[in-house]
Amino acid sequence: MINRRYAVKLILTVSSGLTLLSGKIGRGLQAVSRFVEKTVLPGDTDLSTLIYKNPATLDAGQLDTTPRGQFGVMGLSRHKVNLAAWFLRVSGETESTLKFSYNDILKLPSVERNTLLICYGYFAHNGLWKGISSASLLKQAGLKPGVTRVRFSGPRGIKKKSATYTLEEVMNNKVFLAYHLNGEALPESMGFPLRLVAEGHYGKYWIKYVDEIQLLA
């Protein structure tokens, strides 16, 4: 008969093994998805048919742009920012810690991309997002050797959320910080003054009200 202590140990061992295996499978599928041929979406695609699709498998380059007034909103949507006191902090594995005001950011090299936003099971919208060139921003801070990931967080305080991406995605501007949507400044509900845009990732990872970037080894 198996005693209680042995049974508990066995359960913990199996559980730990399954967790590790699950993590490896998830990372493996994410790596494989980079090489899977994407489905090209026609410009007049009914976006409501995409709410259960994986954005990493879709080519949205031909999609029509969704009007700003039709964009859905999930998560935190009422967070007022005092621009006089607000700043974006870049820290972590950098040669120097940098702070940028909103006016500083508007003067930096920009990137503009049509990117599909899918909030799984709720809505899918395609926007023209304009914002900071991530590569330029991180180069100013100076990357230390060994940096592999970049974490975006905001807003400061108890409502803070974060998401972490590979350095490759950030340096290729697949992940960047937007301050405009369809040619106009982001509204408060969409994350003003800065919202993360992450091509190929679900909307839950598009952090709003970003005020901190951390470089990680």
pLDDT tens-digit readout, 28-56: 444 444 556 899 999 999 999 999 999 99
- What 17-26 contacts at long range (C-beta under 8 Å, 24+ apart), as own/partner pairs, is none
Identity (one letter) of the amino acid at 75?
G
Contacts of 115 (CB under 8 A, 6+ apart): 60, 126, 127, 129, 197, 199
Beta bridge pairs of residue 40:
59
Q: Residue 37's pLDDT is what?
A: 85
Q: Residue 75's pLDDT is what?
A: 94
Q: Residue 36's pLDDT is what?
A: 65
Structure tokens at 77: 């949507």
Which segments of the chain have a pLDDT < 50?
A: 1-2, 4, 6-33
Pairing of strands 39-40, 58-59: parallel
The domain over range 39-216 is classified in CATH as 1.10.357.20: no
The domain limits of the chain are 1-35, 39-216
Structure tokens at 24: 């490896």
Cα-to-chain-centroid distance, residue 112: 15
Ramachandran category for residue 185: left, alpha or beta (phi over 0 → left; psi -120 to 50 → alpha): beta
Query: Cα angle vertex 101, ends 81, 163, to 5°?
Result: 70
Q: What share of the chain is helix, strand, coil (3-state, %, to 5)?
A: 30, 30, 40
Element at 2 (helix H, strand E): none
DSSP-derived secondary structure for 38-100: PEEPPTT--GGGGTTS-GGGEE-TTPPPPPGGG----S-------TTT--EEEEESBSS-EEE
